[in-house]
Amino acid sequence: MSIYASIEGIGDLGDPEHLGAPWVYEGSHVPPRADGPRAGSVGLAVIPSHITADGRDDQPCDGPPWPWLRLHLDVVGDDPCVLIDPAQARHLAEALHAWADQADPPEFAGGQHWWIHARFPGGGSLCGPGSSDRDAAVEQLTELRATHPGNVYRLVCETTTSTMEDA
């Protein structure tokens, strides 16, 4: 069962009919045309608040969604591109802003959100849940580095632009 819940994108089920499907990207050498072929979709999906990492079902259904959004393209051909017009761009921007406003809890809104990014010796990586409290994140980072010295940890600060630092 998927943890994601689709929200209105463009060119798929639930798409506002006036927007239609995106235009097919025919290559960097082909100028776009209003009467060009249309196919595919840009889909958006959120993780609702009641989904938990450990499978518990004790979170409210009406809380803010997780701070992760799945954006997927359904395209014609092998190039993962579509062309969109200004109306479609505005629709996607509104959907993205609405999700971001819901997913960014008040304690993080307009502020900073600190995450710990781990890179493992085998090549994998993981980014864990964060906090608006930098000192708490640094304390956790220090504990992780002491407990797992073979891993590389970085402190990531999410604002309008993400930055990394070695705390």
Question: What per-residue confidence (pLDDT) applies to 53?
Answer: 65
Same domain, 159 and 128: yes
Same domain, 70 and 125: no
Contact 159/100 with Cβ under 8 angstroms?
Answer: no
Of 52, 81, 103, the position where a domain reaches its end is 103
The total of structural domains in the chain comes to: 2
Mean pLDDT of the chain: 79
Structural domain that includes position 78: 5-103
Same domain, 126 and 64: no
Q: Is residue 77 part of a domain?
A: yes
Question: What per-residue confidence (pLDDT) applies to 81?
Answer: 92
Same domain, 68 and 150: no
Question: What are the phi and psi torsion angles at 85 (to 5°)?
Answer: -100, 175
By percentage, how much of the chain surpasses pLDDT 90? 18
pLDDT at 162 over 80: no
Same domain, 93 and 136: no
Question: What per-residue confidence (pLDDT) applies to 144?
Answer: 87
In this structure, is the dihedral angle defined by the CA atoms of residues 87, 89, 91 and 97, taken in order, positive or negative? negative
Same domain, 15 and 96: yes
Of 76, 103, 130, the position where a domain reaches its end is 103
pLDDT at 137 over 90: no
Average pLDDT over residues 142-163: 77
Question: What per-residue confidence (pLDDT) applies to 13?
Answer: 62
CA angle 153, 155, 156 (to 5 degrees): 125
By percentage, how much of the chain surpasses pLDDT 70? 78
Same domain, 99 and 119: no
Q: Is residue 94 part of a domain?
A: yes
Q: Is residue 108 part of a domain?
A: no
Q: Is residue 72 part of a domain?
A: yes
Same domain, 88 and 127: no
pLDDT at 133 over 80: no
Q: What is the pLDDT of residues 6-59, one digit of tens each?
A: 888 888 765 566 788 999 999 999 999 999 999 989 999 988 878 776 666 666
Contact 65/103 with Cβ under 8 angstroms?
Answer: yes
pLDDT at 119 over 80: yes
Choice between 126 and 160, residue whose per-residue pLDDT is larger: 126
